[in-house]
């Protein structure tokens, strides 16, 4: 977490952040495929943890609880860009939906 929150704004640091965010997206996708491995107590425990990475408008990655994050829509509408500016947002994942990420802002 510290690395992503305090990395510089140089090209290498920005590329590293994008790579790490991409890896988290792949991890959430994998966890979505394993949804039957998680019970309600697992998901309740995750709801209390700040484990969802979101990049803010300055490019810094911060970690949020699922209830503090909204899913972005991937259809490219202008309203989605506004949501991304006003709220912490991430691409849809069934695993994150189970953990409490909200579908509408």
Helix%, strand%, coil% for the chain, nearest 5? 55, 15, 30
pTM to 2 decimals?
A: 0.79
Query: What pLDDT, on a 0 to 100 scale, did the predictor assign at position 7?
Result: 56
Least confident residue range of 16-30, 42-56, 68-82, 91-105: 68-82
What's the pLDDT at 89?
Answer: 87
Distance of CA 17 to the CA centre of its chain: 13
Residue closest to 70 by CA, chosen among 96, 47, 88 = 88
Which residues fall within 8 angstroms of residue 104, CB to CB, at 6 or more apart?
Answer: 70
Asked whether the beta carbons of 93 and 29 are under 8 A apart, the reply is yes
Residue 44 has pLDDT above 80, yes or no: yes
């Amino acid at each position: 977490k510290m690395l992503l929150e305090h990395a510089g704004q140089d090209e290498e640091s920005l590329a590293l952040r994008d790579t790490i965010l991409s890896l988290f997206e792949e991890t959430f996708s994998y966890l979505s495929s394993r949804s039957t491995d998680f019970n309600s107590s697992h998901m309740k425990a995750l709801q209390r943890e700040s484990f969802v990475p979101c990049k803010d408008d300055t490019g810094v990655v911060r970690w949020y609880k699922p209830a503090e994050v909204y899913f972005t829509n991937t259809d490219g509408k202008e309203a989605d860009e506004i949501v991304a500016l006003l709220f912490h947002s991430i691409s849809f994942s069934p695993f994150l939906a189970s953990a409490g990420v909200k579908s509408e802002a």
